Structure 1
Amino acid sequence: MTYQEAIDYLNSFINYEKKRTKKYNSELYNLEEFRNIAEKFDNPQNDIKTIHVAGSKGKGSTVEYISNILIENGFKVGTFTSPHLYDVKERIRINKEQINKSDFAKITRKISETIDRENIKKRYRTFFELITLMSFLYFKKNNVDYAVYEVGLGGRLDTTNIIKPEVSVITLIDLEHTNLLGNTLKKIAYEKAGIIKENIPVVISKQKRKDVANYFTKISQRRKALLFLYGRDFKVVKDRFILENGKQIGPIKLKMEGAHQLVNAVTALQATRVLNVDMDVNRSISALINTKIKGRIDIRRIRKRIVILDTGHTPESIKVLFEVLQKKYEKFTSRNVFSIISFSSGKKIKKMLEYESRFNTRMIFTENSSFRSATIKEMEKFISPFKSFKKLEKAFSFAMEKSRENDIILIHGSFYLMNDVNKVLGEYGEKL
């Protein structure tokens, strides 16, 4: 099996990242079926020490922070994330190196032989399940010391939830995927709490509402999971970390922009401390400081313009983005800011556009190549843009042409936009 044949095989399965579903239940997201498949491969997930991370905001950053802390302290670390920006191999990494095409094809072939022999495909299996299974097999084969797993959707019914982690982590909960997970914070918290397991420690990050933190506390007590709670056991005070033993570390200046990243970083540090293995705190802090994630308030210089990329796609994310920009750039609201925007359909588009309109940006609407993309017409229902272009290439060319030296070009609104961004940046000698 070649790499392309492996990709084609995986793409022959249902992919809920590309196909909308209105249902979120144990029939479509069937963990028992997935456990049965994993069992046919001798349950490779049980031979790996794992860390499990769920949440609405910050889970991707927290996963990277945890992985980098462990790598910096000399451990061999697998990392599993989703979705990918532009290459599926990004999802499965060991010590920051993506799985290579040869291993990807070999493991897919191994999976396909079992699935085809057992006639499993007819039982509604998914692309995400097979990629998750591939990560189990790859990490086991390579004898990783730890593997850090990012939940794909929710938590309770997520494919990753068959692992038995050393520690579970839940980051900030917000209203997201409300058509599937529920339209209240309580319902979403219920889904996220599904990763809290009997007698396994759990780290709960900062929450917007006290009742959410209280709910996680109650579930942790019920499941006899040792709880480390933000604000009680660890926290950020200005630019310093306060840990569960009262130890203060700082000041901390991260490469990742925004005060929220300090919260993600201290949450990651607390999670690694729960592992109770020998680690050097200075190495851990160095790992946090030097972590940088593509597409997260990602600031570039292109032809003397300041180009800022951000995958944030919720009202809270937009608010954080503009808070960072106001602090970073003097007189931000009076600067020339060309804002190229593409949202996913069904998001709180009106709320996000109304918030951004306060900052007098020159909004340029575009669409991304994902089926999830909101149309220009959808966005124009709420606000009249400075300009609209169907394709990002034309939107970016327009912004470059109309902007001057030191003007800001902001490209934001969707994770799925970044695949298109990568192609556009390539024309300017840049890449994500």
Structure 2
Amino acid sequence: MNQYNRLESALERLYSFIDYEKLGAKNPYDTDENDIRRFRELLRSRGDRHEEFTTVLVAGSKGKGSACAMLEAILCADGRRTGLYTSPHLVDIRERFRLDGACVSADILTDKIDALTEAAVDGGAGRGFRTVFEILTASAFEIFAESGVDVGIIEVGMGGRLDATNAIDPDITAITAIGLDHTHVLGDTAEAIAREKAGILRAGTPLVLGRQEESVRRLILDRAKKIGASQVIDLNDARISINDISLRSTAFDLSLAEKDYPSLEINLAGAHQAENAAVAIALAKLLTVDKSLIYEGLREIRWPGRMQHVAESPDVIIDGAHSPMAFERLIETLAHIRQTSPVWVFAVNRDKDYPAMIDVVRKFSAGIVFTSFDWPRAVIAQELAEIEPSGIVADNFARAIEIARERAGSSGMVVIAGSLYLAGLALKEFGLSPCKH
């Protein structure tokens, strides 16, 4: 059996556990259903492997994955051995576990999933794992420790306070932009969601706070002061000046804590990515990275499915936007790059605010092609078309792309967005995989 067949067999066992990514998060979001104290004990029974390296825990509604990937690139430029744990994946589950910027091998991940699922079933150390995400999170900690990483960069899955990643005591914390997402679970206001995100803060631990609405900023700063965070770098006080945005990059200047970073460049598009880069730079400062290596690292960032340009004539963009806030930022970037509106390929999960997302899209649109995907929470295309009757319903995803490209014409643009799952399908459709580079 080759390594990929072994991994498929391991994943079959893994997915026999509760999978909230597939089923949707439970409501209400209470400690009985999401008891990280129990998970913390499980980690202890496995030797608390996360304590063997420096941990950076990053929460937020938008941009947390991008900020984590940027920090990874900076630390790699500095020669640090890095582990990056993110979720969800787009194409290949190995994307969630990166060592020094590369996906972990199928054999390493298979062996770890096998060990943890076996422990859960047989009652050894690790008995009591209930969810897929817990097993994957524990896998990341152990793989990183066994690989001898210097820094583990950990992206929170959902929320913060009760997320499995928050079972550790991180060395550094960060919170990127907060907006309305997972409202049926975390709360229906930005302030309520911020309270959940602020659950990652620790006494004696520094916090990097990304740009926020003032009410959210004040709430998190008050929480940081109350619990005794050792230091707060508040990026609402930073100055970001955009110099240029293209389909493939963003150039900007940053002034942060009385230090200037002129002529920065990242190979991700959008003013919001400059804000995410500011979070990564602040984290790098806390980790004492030299300024020149910050520049070098940011030029090497790899983060697929985020304003990713995959074809020309017409230009085709894949983006994982899946909230109104994310679509607003995406459209702001597209409008900066070119004046003409794109044709959209849109599909979405039911637990998202898709009426509001469609309302944002229709303001900068040369047409919308609605489709769906094989996922329990996916909204059927016909239902989406009831919200926007001028939209076209495509029988399948490949046909949706074909229709959109025909409608855009060779000089136009097609944007595929609405779900990270959809972004993964699009990457596969264009023969791309984040684990092949």
TM-score interval (norm. to shorter): over 0.9
2: CA distance, partners of 1:419 / 1:203: 30
Does 2:21 align with 1:17? Answer: yes
2: CA distance, partners of 1:119 / 1:76: 31
Q: How does 1:179-198 map to 2 (within 5 A)?
A: 179-198=184-203
**Which amino acid is 1:274 matched to?**
L
Q: Which moved more, 1:247-256 or 1:198-207?
A: 247-256
Q: In the TM superposition, what whole-angstrom CA distance separates every residue of 1:189-231 from its partner, at most 9, and x where no partner exists?
A: 1100000011000110100x21211111111111111211113
1: CA distance, partners of 2:227 / 2:391: 54
Q: Which runs of 5+ in 1 are unaligned?
A: none
Q: Which of 327, 352, 356 in structure 2 is aligned with 1:318?
A: 327
Q: In the TM superposition, what whole-angstrom CA distance separates every residue of 1:380-402 from its partner, at most 9, and x where no partner exists?
A: 22211342113111111223344
1:258–1:324: 8 Å Cα contact kept in structure 2?
A: yes
**Which amino acid is 1:419 matched to?**
G
Q: 1:221 matched to which residue of 2?
A: 225
Does 2:87 align with 1:82? Answer: yes
Q: 1:43 matched to which residue of 2?
A: 48
Q: Which moved more, 1:407-416 or 1:72-81?
A: 407-416
Distance 1:113 1:339, change over 3 A: closer
Q: 2:314 matched to which residue of 1?
A: 305
Shift of 1:59: 0.4
Does 2:285 align with 1:273? Answer: yes
Q: 2:245 matched to which residue of 1?
A: none
**Which amino acid is 2:22 matched to?**
K
Shift of 1:352: 2.1
Q: 1:102 matched to which residue of 2?
A: 107
**Which amino acid is 1:22 matched to?**
N
2:119–2:127: 8 Å Cα contact kept in structure 1?
A: no
Shift of 1:282: 1.5
2:207–2:233: 8 Å Cα contact kept in structure 1?
A: yes
**Which amino acid is 1:311 matched to?**
G
Distance 1:195 1:235, change over 3 A: farther
- Number of matched pairs: 419
Q: Which moved more, 1:288-297 or 1:134-143?
A: 288-297
Q: Which moved more, 1:306-315 or 1:146-155?
A: 306-315
Q: How does 1:282-431 map to 2 (within 5 A)?
A: 282-302=292-312, 304-329=313-338, 331-333=339-341, 337-426=342-431
2: CA distance, partners of 1:121 / 1:167: 26
Q: Which moved more, 1:344-353 or 1:90-99?
A: 344-353
Q: In the TM superposition, what whole-angstrom CA distance separates every residue of 1:44-95 from its partner, at most 9, and x where no partner exists?
A: 1122211000000110101101111111110000000000001111111101
Q: Which of 170, 175, 190 in structure 2 is aligned with 1:170?
A: 175
1: CA distance, partners of 2:323 / 2:428: 24
**Which amino acid is 1:317 matched to?**
A
**Which amino acid is 1:284 matched to?**
I
2:174–2:208: 8 Å Cα contact kept in structure 1?
A: yes
**Which amino acid is 1:16 matched to?**
Y
Q: Which of 253, 256, 272 in structure 2 is aligned with 1:240?
A: 253
Shift of 1:167: 0.8
1: CA distance, partners of 2:156 / 2:171: 15
Shift of 1:120: 8.6
Q: Which moved more, 1:376-385 or 1:193-202?
A: 376-385
2:240–2:254: 8 Å Cα contact kept in structure 1?
A: yes
SS at the partner of 1:68?
helix
SS at the partner of 1:7?
helix
Q: 1:111 matched to which residue of 2?
A: 116
Does 2:10 align with 1:6? Answer: yes
1: CA distance, partners of 2:153 / 2:433: 26
RMSD over aligned Cα atoms: 1.9
SS at the partner of 2:22?
coil
1:204–1:227: 8 Å Cα contact kept in structure 2?
A: yes
Q: 1:92 matched to which residue of 2?
A: 97
Q: Which moved more, 1:27-36 or 1:284-293?
A: 284-293
1:364–1:385: 8 Å Cα contact kept in structure 2?
A: no
Q: Which moved more, 1:103-112 or 1:92-101?
A: 103-112
Shift of 1:158: 0.6
**Which amino acid is 2:316 matched to?**
V
Q: Which moved more, 1:129-138 or 1:372-381?
A: 372-381
Q: In the TM superposition, what whole-angstrom CA distance separates every residue of 1:289-313 from its partner, at most 9, and x where no partner exists?
A: 33242111112324x3211111111
1: CA distance, partners of 2:406 / 2:283: 47
Q: 1:127 matched to which residue of 2?
A: 132
TM-score under structure 2 normalisation?
0.91
**Which amino acid is 2:256 matched to?**
L
Does 2:292 align with 1:257? Answer: no
1:422–1:431: 8 Å Cα contact kept in structure 2?
A: yes
2:308–2:317: 8 Å Cα contact kept in structure 1?
A: yes
Shift of 1:255: 1.8
Shift of 1:103: 1.2
Q: Which moved more, 1:381-390 or 1:145-154?
A: 381-390
1: CA distance, partners of 2:296 / 2:217: 29
